[in-house]
Amino acid sequence: MNLNNDLSQRVVLRSGELPWVQSPTATVQRRMLAREGDEEAVATSVVRYEPGASFPRHAHPRGEEIMVLEGELSDEYGVYPAGTYIRNPHGSSHAPVSTNGCTLFVKLRQLDEEDTQRTVVRPQDRRWQPGLVPGLEVFGLAEFGTTHTALVRWAPGTRFGRHHHYGGEEILVLEGTFQDEHGDYPAGTWIRSPHMSAHQPFSTPGCLIFVKVGHLPG
């Protein structure tokens, strides 16, 4: 399957409007945002675990990133409530389960093989730092080479200057509404902007976004 895999193109999807697609496990469904390959794919998805759902133990070639959006995910290494960021490196494996159900943002096979650091950041670990403009707060989640991943919180009325994205930018709107000159993006919107794209973002009502930059090819 090839879905939104041309990284030179800007993509905007409201994930909540996409259909749920069945995974190989009956109690796990996916909303596919981007995909290259069949079941073993380079993929970005929103994933839903029904209560009691589990996924067989599996390995992560080129790693896995997870943002827990709702509910609680568990595996043999711990319990991950909503708001937790998990980064499982190349070659790692686990057997995830959700007792009460959960919804996840998941990126598969998109980490550098040299990036071997496992990262787990729970909501209580967040230490916000001032951003580049008043009203902006940033909490870094992970970085490797030119790639930086963070949560960014926009106070109502915050505006940022026009800028280019060297290595591209990927955003998932977690709360509120993110905006730029191209449109308004409510919670659940996924935006992927290619290398050297540009925009002038702002948020009139305020928002919280997951941001990954510097990881898309030039």
Please name the residues in contact with 92: beta carbons below 8 A apart, sequence gap of 6 or more: 59, 60, 63, 64, 118
Which of 97, 121, 145 is where one domain is finished?
A: 121
Full residue range of the structural domain in which residue 63 is found: 2-121
Do 101 and 40 lie in one domain? The reply is yes
Do 23 and 103 lie in one domain? The reply is yes
Please name the residues in contact with 150: beta carbons below 8 A apart, sequence gap of 6 or more: 138, 139, 140, 141, 210, 211
> What per-residue confidence (pLDDT) applies to 194?
97
Do 143 and 85 lie in one domain? The reply is no
By three-state DSSP, how is residue 201 classified?
Answer: coil
Confidence of residue 208 (pLDDT cuts 50, 70, 90): very high
Q: Is 144 contained in some domain?
A: yes
Which of 68, 96, 121 is where one domain is finished?
A: 121
Which 8-state DSSP code applies to residue 12? Answer: E
Do 72 and 18 lie in one domain? The reply is yes
Do 148 and 72 lie in one domain? The reply is no
* β 136-144/147-154 pair status: antiparallel
Burial of 209 (0-12, 13-18, 19+ CB in 10 A): buried
Q: Is 17 contained in some domain?
A: yes
Report d(CA 17, CA 19) in Å as an integer: 7
Condensed to tens digits (0 to 9), the pLDDT of residues 120-160 reads 999 999 999 999 999 999 999 999 999 999 999 999 999 99
Q: Give me the CATH number covering residue 196.
A: 2.60.120.10
What does the longest C-alpha to C-alpha distance in the chain come to?
47
Condensed to tens digits (0 to 9), the pLDDT of residues 64-100 reads 999 999 999 999 999 999 999 999 999 899 999 999 9
Mean pLDDT of 18-35: 95
Supply the pTM of this predicted model. Answer: 0.96
Residue 29 has pLDDT above 80, yes or no: yes
Do 115 and 136 lie in one domain? The reply is no
Mean pLDDT of 177-191: 98
Residue 25 has pLDDT above 80, yes or no: yes
The domain total for the chain is 2
Q: 199 pairs with which residues across the strands?
A: 163
Do 22 and 88 lie in one domain? The reply is yes
Do 104 and 165 lie in one domain? The reply is no
Do 8 and 98 lie in one domain? The reply is yes
> What per-residue confidence (pLDDT) applies to 82?
98
> What per-residue confidence (pLDDT) applies to 111?
93
Q: Is 218 contained in some domain?
A: no
Burial of 109 (0-12, 13-18, 19+ CB in 10 A): middle
Taking the alpha carbons of 41, 81, 144, 13 in that order, is the dihedral positive or negative? positive
Do 114 and 6 lie in one domain? The reply is yes
Which of 70, 97, 121 is where one domain is finished?
A: 121
Confidence of residue 59 (pLDDT cuts 50, 70, 90): confident
